[in-house]
Amino acid sequence: MTHHSLWHSLLRGLKVATVGWAVATLPIGQAAPLPDKAALEQTLQRAPQRLTVIEPHLSTRDDHVRVQYLGWPAEVVLDKLLGATAWRKPGVDVEFRALDGYVSRIPAERFTQYQAYWVVDRVGHPSFTVDNLKQNEKAVSLGPYYLVWDNIQAPELVPEGGSFWPYQVADIGVSETRLQSLLPGQMVERYKAAAADAQKHCLNCHQVNGFGGDKRPTNLAQEVKKLTDAEFHAWVMEPNRVKPGTTMPPLADAMPQADRTALASRLLDYLRAVPVAPQPAAK
Ligand code: HEC
């Protein structure tokens, strides 16, 4: 089998299980709608609780801004919506799709390692919104649902920023396909970690050969090959400097600078190495 036909069959095989009653495999994007807040509260038979987090969209490396939200432990909600066994498997990602095409694919293991909350309101604030400083956006609506992490109990999560904090979550699913499983054979071992980093930091908006989000669905396997090292680094480290007012956020800017630079270099190596699939599939 050539790489091209391998790509093709893998990309066509990209499937998700949908939520609720209709647990079937459907192409991504056709998941059943989530229940609304009132229906969810009724199903869970308990009121949402208060919790406090360091809000990554408002915080910088030196200024940690705490925000109080109302929500339920995410595991409880995922068990209800996806079934207790479907998503609790090693190697699967829980996929959160936002209204604007942003997709967060979060490894299932992370939910047992860290405490996440499925949030429905902000406490002591006139609306369920937050400013997204990194994307130059004010009073961004967070509803219907927002996924947050207890980064006060687990301060090691603070430098990661907001990539695993999807807001405006409109549907969820379980995805058994990871980007690294789409890598041609000999690339898998070498680029596994970099592909996971790309999934986390870039492919919630962009795509690699049809895999990723729809917020800015350009193929990074293609786009990045047009850039020099200097252009790539300048863009991902400080997009707002290259293009003032852009909504592309800087790469993990709560991390120490040296770690960010190293991460950017790993992403660049990987995105240059990954072959461009002949036709974008899986759309
Ligand atoms: C929150 C969404 C988001 C994330 C996350 C994101 N980008 Fe972008 N990116 C954008 C948007 C929006 C544009 C268009 C920017 C503009 O023209 O103002 C863009 C533009 C680009 C471009 C120029 C090609 C194009 O599509 O216009 C490249 C290359 C790029 N991004 C690379 C990356 C890399 C690499 C990462 C991960 C380190 C990343 N982006 C993460 C939203 C995102």
Ligand 1, closest atom to CA 218?
A: 26
pLDDT for res 279: 62
Evaluate whether residue 7 is within a structural domain.
no
**Mean pLDDT across the stretch 71-90?**
94
CATH number where 259 lies: 2.60.40.420
274 lines ligand 1 (CB under 6 A): no
Is the domain of 60 the same as that of 156? Answer: yes
Evaluate whether residue 266 is within a structural domain.
yes
Binned at pLDDT 50, 70 and 90, residue 15 comes out as: very low
Evaluate whether residue 26 is within a structural domain.
yes
Of 27-31, 49-53, 180-184, which range is least confident?
A: 27-31
pLDDT tens-digit readout, 119-156:
999 999 999 999 998 888 999 999 999 999 999 999 99
pLDDT for res 23: 30
Evaluate whether residue 80 is within a structural domain.
yes
Residue at a domain's end among 175, 205, 233: 175
pLDDT for res 104: 96
Is the domain of 195 the same as that of 140? Answer: no
Q: Are strands 137-141 and 207-208 parallel, antiparallel or unpaired?
A: unpaired
Binned at pLDDT 50, 70 and 90, residue 168 comes out as: very high
Distances (CA, A) of 71 to 49, 104, 134, 148, 204: 5, 19, 24, 9, 23
Evaluate whether residue 278 is within a structural domain.
no
Evaluate whether residue 244 is within a structural domain.
yes
Is the domain of 144 the same as that of 235? Answer: no
Position with higher pLDDT, 204 vs 13: 204
249 lines ligand 1 (CB under 6 A): yes
- Counting ligand 1 atoms within 8 A of each CB, the residue from 206, 270, 271 with the most, and so the one to mutate, is 206
194 lines ligand 1 (CB under 6 A): no
Residue at a domain's end among 151, 175, 199: 175
Is the domain of 203 the same as that of 85? Answer: no
pLDDT tens-digit readout, 54-64:
999 999 989 99
Is the domain of 36 the same as that of 68? Answer: yes
Q: What whole-number percentage of the chain has pLDDT above 90?
A: 77
Is the domain of 170 the same as that of 211? Answer: no
**Mean pLDDT across the stretch 204-229?**
96
201 lines ligand 1 (CB under 6 A): yes
Is the domain of 134 the same as that of 93? Answer: yes
CA-to-CA distance for 150 and 49, rounded, in angstroms?
Answer: 13
How would you classify residue 279: left for phi > 0, otherwise alpha for psi between -120 and 50, otherwise beta?
Answer: beta
Is the domain of 151 the same as that of 58? Answer: yes
Evaluate whether residue 2 is within a structural domain.
no
Is the domain of 73 the same as that of 213? Answer: no
Binned at pLDDT 50, 70 and 90, residue 25 comes out as: very low
Buried/exposed code over 65-89 (b: 16+ C-beta within 10 A; e: otherwise):
eebebbbbbbbebbbbbbeeebbbe
Binned at pLDDT 50, 70 and 90, residue 248 comes out as: very high
pLDDT at residue 281 is higher than 70: no
Q: Residue 189 belongs to what domain range?
A: 180-273
Q: What whole-number percentage of the chain has pLDDT above 70?
A: 87
CA-to-CA distance for 242 and 226, rounded, in angstroms?
Answer: 16
Q: Are 244 and 238 in contact (CB under 8 A)?
A: no
Tokens of 267: 């992403």
Is the domain of 246 the same as that of 111? Answer: no
Is the domain of 154 the same as that of 186? Answer: no
30 lines ligand 1 (CB under 6 A): no
Binned at pLDDT 50, 70 and 90, residue 32 comes out as: low
Mean confidence (pLDDT) of the chain: 88
Annotate 29-91 with DSSP letters as a single string: T-PPPPP-HHHHHHHHTSPPEEEEEE-TTT--SS---EEEEEEEEHHHHHHHHH-TTTS-STT
Please count the structural domains in the chain: 2
pLDDT at residue 261 is higher than 80: yes
Residue 44: HSE in the Cβ half-sphere, 13 Å Cα cutoff? 23
Tokens of 32: 């059943």
Q: Which helix (H) or strand (E) holds 192?
A: helix 187-201
Residue at a domain's end among 175, 201, 220: 175
Evaluate whether residue 49 is within a structural domain.
yes
pTM: 0.85
**Mean pLDDT across the stretch 191-206?**
96
CA-to-CA distance for 156 and 32, rounded, in angstroms?
Answer: 34
Is the domain of 20 the same as that of 44? Answer: yes
pLDDT at residue 73 is higher than 80: yes
